[in-house]
Homo-oligomer: A and B are copies of this chain.
Amino acid sequence: MTPFSHRKADTVAALGEERLISAIRRWLGDVSPPAPLGIGDDCAILPASKKAQAITVDPVIYRRHFDDSIPPCAVGAKLLKRNLSDLAAMGAKPRAAVVALTLDPRTRLDWLEKFYRGLAACARTYNLAIVGGDVAQADKILAASLTLIGEASGSRMLTRAGARSGDWIYVTGPLGGSLLGKHHRFTPRLSEGAWLAAHPEVRAMMDLSDGLAKDLHALTPSNAEPALDPALIPISPAARKLARDSKRTPLAHALGDGEDFELLFAVRKNSNRASFEKTWLRHFRQPLYCIGNFVSIGKRPAGSIDLNAHRGYEHLR
């Protein structure tokens, strides 16, 4: 569905700002609390919490993160889920979000309604409120930026720092080929992230958004390098499918494709991995994948993956 129309009656310009904001509150329904806890005052008030808060922001931009082929409700859900994946990476749970919308006055009202209803349905699933936002006009743009606030689901939040040489490297699911649909159909790994943060074996965690080959650097201790076993990388069926036409290997897709939205984490080298993985399987259907470990620089075994030969998603090119 294309988001723009030249028939003014079909567009946001027919409504004007005030009525548009009323419509947005109606579309959001019960995930939009009354002011001042939600939309309608200069700020939204978020009740006090005893915990540290986690903040993240990510946008969706027309022709960049979605196009006419993605249903608008899926665009709304993707906007929230991209941010939820960042919370999952800390072992945090969501509390509230604000949405800054930038749109061309020719934006179709029915596109926008489906976008907000998709966003609301997703917010409802994850039990968070959409508490505020902004609507700004600009030519030939349709973009929304969501800022998400959460807090630890247990006693700690996990960061990217903390892995050590010798630690095992894990991912929560098969990688690559997200472009074929997972990029907007994925489930953010919130329960998984919370479970992992509650287990002291896990020392560091992040989510995979730009491809394993690129993202893994951020988890790698400064005195180490990753030694990944090519036979252990879980390759998604979509990565295999893409490889048929792309002249790249399925493994190259698994290492290089963006928007996996799986969790990548490091497990303490002396932990009882068998017991850790077995306990995991009591809670989650999909197994954990141990794909290698961190070794001292220069000690990467023969046959392990040379990540310099692979690239993740490059922005600003």
A binding-site residues for B, Cβ under 8 Å: 12-13, 15-17, 20, 35-36, 40-59, 61, 63-65, 85-87, 89-90, 92, 96, 98-100, 102, 105, 131-141, 143, 145, 147, 149-150, 157, 159-161, 206-207, 314-317
- Are A157 and B315 touching (Cβ within 8 A)? no
Can you identify 24 A-B contacts, CB atoms within 8 angstroms? A20-B316, A35-B160, A35-B161, A36-B90, A41-B90, A41-B206, A42-B85, A42-B206, A43-B157, A45-B157, A46-B53, A55-B96, A58-B100, A58-B134, A59-B134, A61-B102, A61-B136, A61-B138, A63-B138, A64-B137, A64-B138, A100-B145, A134-B145, A138-B143
Contacts of A96 in B (CB 8 A): 55
Q: CA A227 – CA B21 in complex, angstroms?
A: 27
Q: CA A247 – CA B16 in complex, angstroms?
A: 26
- Are A54 and B45 touching (Cβ within 8 A)? yes
Contacts of A138 in B (CB 8 A): 61, 63-64, 141, 143
- Are A63 and B317 touching (Cβ within 8 A)? no
- Are B100 and A64 touching (Cβ within 8 A)? no
A24 to chain B, nearest CB (A): 12
Contacts of A51 in B (CB 8 A): 48
Contacts of A40 in B (CB 8 A): 160
Q: CA A138 – CA B161 in complex, angstroms?
A: 31
Contacts of A56 in B (CB 8 A): 42-44, 98, 132
Contacts of A42 in B (CB 8 A): 56, 85-87, 89-90, 160, 206-207
Q: CA A226 – CA B213 in complex, angstroms?
A: 63
